[in-house]
Amino acid sequence: MKKVSLKDIATAAGVSTALVSYVLTNKEKEARIGEEIAKKIREIARKLNYQPNHIARSLKSGRSFTIGLIVADISNPFFANIARTIEDEAKRNNYTVIFGSSDENVDKSGDLINVLINRQVDGLIITPAEGSEEQIRQLQAQKVPFVLIDRFFPDIEASHIAVNNFESAYQAVSHLIKTGRKRIGMIGYKTTLHHISERKRGYKEALQDHQLPGGTTLLKSARYSHLKEDIKVSIDQLLSGRQPADAVFFATNSIAMEGLKYINSLGIRIPDQLAVITFDEGEALDLFYSPVTFVRQPILEIGREAVRVLLEEIKDSKKEIEHICIDTTLVVRKSCGQR
């Protein structure tokens, strides 16, 4: 079966091959091609089942028009939604995305970086795993364009897109204090990663500024690899003793999901007996009998900015490094109650 060419589409549309090329690479605005003719060209290309020749395009431009994306955990709604946004944004710029999930494992992260570079991606968008500083420095040495998202290493000068973790956590805990809670616990990951450290710092400073106890005694950590059991232990500790916690701030939605399941199994009522707030949203949190108050991260903005910065780096290797910090929104719902 003969492969459909740009010339076939041009003949059917009664226009030049150059015009077809502009439309099919989404450059019709730059070439000032009218909407009607662009629509007609796309319709003909679809009817003729035109398939672009990526190999020819790569040879001509020296680019593969693919981006490698490494997230921490694709099963987490936060990363799944970011991946979706990045894929949509890349497609608008005629790029394809190849995904990988490091599962917070530094070795897996290194393997994925090597696989994607061998696939000749033009650049990488990475959620770095704990301990992957050397991998990031290696990319810099190899002059591979990359952008870090969600987290970064303060000691490494590289473009990143993240949220204001400290302020967001501070605001979340302050909200619990305003609703009358006095003994607020926090469960975060046991990690040295900067974004979690900043959330812990926000929690501690909010308690300190309001002269409340718990900055160290009520702060608990769970290992990523032993999440379920560590969260159970943490909640048991927070709810035991003469002065049990009356609120819990979960550092991520994965921790929140495990925590809420266990709290539910204990028969503890939210918000009457325990107020709850979490970083990140998740559809399951809407379905909970007491919809959970959460810190909403601007997923669309994070994804779009990541693609923009990376594509600019791909085009210009001397592009200045960008540190982008985006504000979050506190979405208040029933789980905090009022005292």
The pLDDT > 70 percentage for the chain reads 96
Q: 219 phi and psi, to 5 degrees?
A: -95, 115
Element (DSSP H or E) covering residue 329: strand 329-331
Q: What share of the chain is helix, strand, coil (3-state, %, to 5)?
A: 45, 15, 35
pLDDT recorded at residue 12 = 87
Name the residue among 294, 218, 222 with its Cα closest to residue 262: 222
Name the residue among 231, 230, 224, 183 with its Cα closest to residue 203: 183
Say what the pTM is.
0.81
Summarize pLDDT for 134-186 with one digit per residue, the tens. Answer: 999 999 999 999 999 999 999 999 999 999 999 999 999 999 999 999 999 99
Summarize pLDDT for 35-81 with one digit per residue, the tens. Answer: 888 888 888 888 888 877 655 565 455 678 999 999 999 888 899 99
Name the residue among 13, 317, 16, 303 with its Cα closest to residue 161: 303
Instruction: Give the residue, 7 or 121, on which the prediction is more confident.
Output: 121
Q: Contact, 127 vs 151, CB < 8 A?
A: yes
pLDDT recorded at residue 293 = 93
The full set of domains in the chain, from first to last, is: 6-52 (1.10.260), 59-163+299-326 (3.40.50.2300), 165-297+330-336 (3.40.50.2300)
